[in-house]
Chain A
Amino acid sequence: ELKVEQNPLFLSMQEGKNYTIYCNYSTTSDRLYWYRQDPGKSLESLFVLLSNGAVKQEGRLMASLDTKARLSTLHITAAVHDLSATYFCAPGGGATNKLIFGTGTLLAVQP
């Protein structure tokens, strides 16, 4: 059974700082997604990573995928308060695109 672990589970960081969230998964997957969830809200798709070595960037967030290491990273550059949320990674696969969500990382950016 696919297991997905993220670390850290909780991240408190100051505005302007950089940090990386790690997502490790236990079995082969040909795609990986990153989602953001604000408190009490739904999930918003951030990135879709479809191949080994894929790198995607949007604003202060950059995601990468190493399928051989079964590792994805979400790098935050010069954090701002608006980035405070919970971030989930989710490897997917199969014709139904079944997702298994990681444990989640709660990010709190302090002014």
Chain B
Amino acid sequence: DTEVTQTPKHLVMGMTNKKSLKCEQHMGHRAMYWYKQKAKKPPELMFVYSYEKLSINESVPSRFSPECPNSSLLNLHLHALQPEDSALYLCASSRPGQGAKQPQHFGDGTRLSIL
């Protein structure tokens, strides 16, 4: 069992749909991350939130919209996605700050398929 919970585990959506991915952690971590992972590739960082504020956006298309409503919850809102956006979306959390070099803890991911 992972300490970072992602829902749903699988999602199939059309290109005109709007959906959201959810990530929750109760470890007191104040940094949360979204990654995208294509098959047989490494995870690629999309967004970083630190203390509930967006601190890094890796030039992600605007059809992906992150939200961090509180310190335990991270959402990724999806709209008008393209077939090439089909991938495994991973959420992670960690302690922020220079003194905190602990590893990021990953959720099990949401496998997204765009029809």
A residues sitting closer than 8 Å to B (CB atoms) are 30-31, 33, 35, 41-45, 48, 50, 88, 92, 95-104, 106
Q: Total contacts A to B, CB within 8 angstroms?
A: 59
Complex contact B108–A48 (CB within 8 A): no
The size of the chain B interface, using a CB distance under 8 A, is: 28
- Give the interface centre of A43, A44, A88, A103 by most chain B CB atoms within 10 Å: A43
Q: Which of A43, A88, A92 contacts B101 (CB 8 A)?
A: A92
Complex contact A96–B106 (CB within 8 A): no
Measured CB to CB, the closest approach of chain B to A31, in angstroms, equals 5
In Å, the complex CA distance between A106 and B42 comes to 11
Specify the main secondary structure of chain B where it touches its partner.
loop
Residues of B within 8 Å of A99, CB to CB, are 45, 104
Q: Mark B21-65, 1 if CB is under 8 A from A, else 0.
A: 000000000010000000011111100101000011000000000
Measured CB to CB, the closest approach of chain A to B8, in angstroms, equals 15
Among residues of B, the one whose C-beta sits closest to the C-beta of A49 is B101
Complex contact B97–A102 (CB within 8 A): no
Complex contact B45–A43 (CB within 8 A): no
Residues of B within 8 Å of A42, CB to CB, are 2, 90, 106-109
